[in-house]
């Protein structure tokens, strides 16, 4: 492989910064083969900001919502050279560099590299397609809900409550709607709901700030953290014997009474739970499969009808900020400590330079 010099955002001590890097891996390492991916659009995720703050548990994948072009790949992946792909951060790689960059170096066995690169179907808009990764996690959550409810013999005939109107909660609500289920999206702060309604990201009947409503058979918690306050709200919204699906961020040791909620989420367990005055079932959802990515990209590329809500329009309307690579470090550093509404995406319009 040729050596490339490229611009990349790294972070240290709570600050994101732009640096000039050289490709380090030439495909001959014992660590595995190398794919060079040239990102075109990269989404900013809550977990990127956690990495900047040094508060991410379990994984490191700074800049993982990537839609890009495969610039170079080993012979076993020759069919992917030049293809537009969505990066799947879940397959285990030996090494990867920051995704907020003109180039990303991915090092692993060819099977793992192939698993991490999901070819984008023609017709999916580039910018919305970058939401394919969080959408795949939302699809996985809904599929997991459907599987658990089928096991329990409690079909989704009544509306599902989704708690947390951030990007994840909105995409989970949007997936439920796109698949023909009813849902109500709750958030404690009214500005998040207003943001969604002002942009027409969701139909107005779906959004709700009154957290005093009760009695949903199925509740999904999708906030940035499964904090005691939001756990309490979710359990309060549940009908006796209902099912709480846990998607929200958890940390090792987090508990809900007797339940180890971090283990339940990360290992996708289903356990019976009880709080004073209520019995319920808690199930976890974690990550996404290739099938979830494929379904997410299919949903994003479905034709839209003027005047009718669609998931593709929802994804597009969630994008609140568009940044060039050079502008992104300041945004990432600020957003890591302050709040934000909607999705920020980084457009990478210039390429790396190359030396034989």
Ligand X SMILES: NC(=O)c1ccc[n+]([C@@H]2O[C@H](COP(=O)([O-])OP(=O)(O)OC[C@H]3O[C@@H](n4cnc5c(N)ncnc54)[C@H](OP(=O)(O)O)[C@@H]3O)[C@@H](O)[C@H]2O)c1
- Residue 48 host element (H or E): helix 46-53
> Please, which residue, 46 or 114, has the CB nearer to ligand X?
46
- The single residue among 43, 99, 242, 249 that binds ligand X, judged by CB under 6 A, is 249
Asked if 227 interacts with ligand X (CB under 6 A), we say yes
Supply angle C-alpha 291, 293, 297, rounded to 5.
Answer: 120
Near ligand X in 26-85, by CB under 6 A:
45-47
Asked if 87 interacts with ligand X (CB under 6 A), we say no
> Please, which residue, 102 or 250, has the CB nearer to ligand X?
250
> Please, which residue, 168 or 328, has the CB nearer to ligand X?
168
Hey, how many other C-beta atoms are within 10 angstroms of the C-beta on 180?
7
- The single residue among 118, 248, 256, 346 that binds ligand X, judged by CB under 6 A, is 248
For 80, which DSSP code? Answer: G
- The single residue among 94, 152, 188, 194 that binds ligand X, judged by CB under 6 A, is 188
- Take residue 343 and report the two structure tokens written for it: 């999705």
- The single residue among 36, 66, 124, 137 that binds ligand X, judged by CB under 6 A, is 137
- The single residue among 6, 25, 181, 230 that binds ligand X, judged by CB under 6 A, is 230
Near ligand X in 139-158, by CB under 6 A:
none
Asked if 173 interacts with ligand X (CB under 6 A), we say no
Near ligand X in 275-294, by CB under 6 A:
285-287
> Please, which residue, 4 or 90, has the CB nearer to ligand X?
90
Asked if 319 interacts with ligand X (CB under 6 A), we say no
275 phi/psi in degrees, rounded to 5 = -120, 165
**Number of residues in contact with ligand X under rule CB under 6 A:** 26
As a whole number of angstroms, the distance between CA 43 and CA 35 comes to: 20
Whether the CB-CB separation of 86 and 332 falls below 8 Å is answered with no
> Please, which residue, 242 or 249, has the CB nearer to ligand X?
249
As a whole number of angstroms, the distance between CA 198 and CA 50 comes to: 28
Residue whose C-alpha is closest to residue 145's, from 175, 119, 121, 120: 175
> Please, which residue, 123 or 229, has the CB nearer to ligand X?
229
Asked if 225 interacts with ligand X (CB under 6 A), we say yes
- Take residue 4 and report the two structure tokens written for it: 């490339």
- The single residue among 189, 251, 255, 322 that binds ligand X, judged by CB under 6 A, is 189
End-to-end CA distance of the chain: 8
Asked if 224 interacts with ligand X (CB under 6 A), we say yes
State the binding string over 192-221 for ligand X (x if CB under 6 A, else -). Answer: x-----------------------------
For 101, which DSSP code? Answer: B
Positions of E strands within 145-257: 160-163, 183-186, 207-208, 216-221, 238-246, 255-256
Asked if 168 interacts with ligand X (CB under 6 A), we say yes
Query: For residue 172, what are the CA distances in angstroms to 66, 129, 139, 164?
Result: 20, 16, 7, 10
- Return the residue nearest ligand X (CB atom): 166
| CA contacts within 13 A on the Cβ side of 5 | 4
- Residue 197 host element (H or E): helix 190-198
Residues that bind ligand X (CB under 6 A): 45-47, 137, 164-169, 187-189, 192, 222-225, 227, 230, 247-249, 285-287
């Amino acid at each position: 492989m040729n050596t490339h010099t490229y611009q990349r955002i790294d972070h240290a001590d709570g600050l994101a910064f732009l640096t000039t890097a050289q490709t380090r891996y030439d495909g001959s390492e014992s660590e595995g083969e190398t794919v060079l991916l040239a990102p075109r659009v990269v989404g900013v995720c809550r977990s990127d900001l956690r990495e900047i703050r040094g508060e991410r548990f379990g994984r490191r994948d700074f800049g993982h919502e990537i839609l890009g072009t495969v610039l170079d790949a080993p012979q076993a992946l020759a069919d992917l050279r030049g293809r537009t792909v969505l990066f799947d951060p879940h397959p285990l790689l030996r090494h990867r560099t920051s995704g907020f960059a003109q180039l990303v170096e991915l090092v692993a066995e060819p099977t793992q590299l192939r698993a991490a690169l999901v070819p984008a179907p023609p017709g999916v808009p580039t910018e919305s397609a970058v939401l394919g990764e969080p959408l795949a996690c939302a699809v996985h959550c809904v599929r997991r809900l459907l599987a658990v409810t089928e096991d329990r013999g409690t079909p989704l005939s009544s509306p599902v409550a989704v708690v947390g109107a951030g990007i994840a909660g909105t995409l989970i609500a949007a997936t439920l709607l796109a698949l023909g289920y009813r849902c109500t999206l709750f958030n404690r702060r009214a500005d998040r709901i207003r943001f969604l309604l002002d942009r027409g990201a969701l139909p107005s009947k779906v959004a709700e700030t009154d957290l005093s409503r009760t009695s949903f058979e199925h509740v999904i918690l999708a906030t940035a953290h499964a904090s005691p306050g939001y756990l309490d709200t979710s359990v309060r919204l549940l009908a006796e014997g209902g099912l709480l699906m846990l998607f929200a961020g958890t940390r090792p040791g987090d508990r809900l009474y007797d339940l180890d909620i971090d283990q339940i989420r990360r290992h996708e367990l289903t356990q019976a739970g009880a709080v004073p005055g209520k019995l319920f079932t808690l199930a976890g959802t974690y990550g996404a499969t290739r099938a979830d990515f494929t379904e997410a990209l299919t949903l994003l590329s479905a034709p839209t009808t003027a005047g009718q809500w669609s998931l593709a329009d929802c994804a597009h309307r969630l994008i609140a900020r568009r940044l060039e690579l050079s502008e992104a470090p300041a945004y990432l550093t600020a957003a890591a400590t302050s709040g934000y509404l909607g999705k920020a995406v980084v457009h990478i319009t210039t390429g790396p330079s190359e030396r034989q």
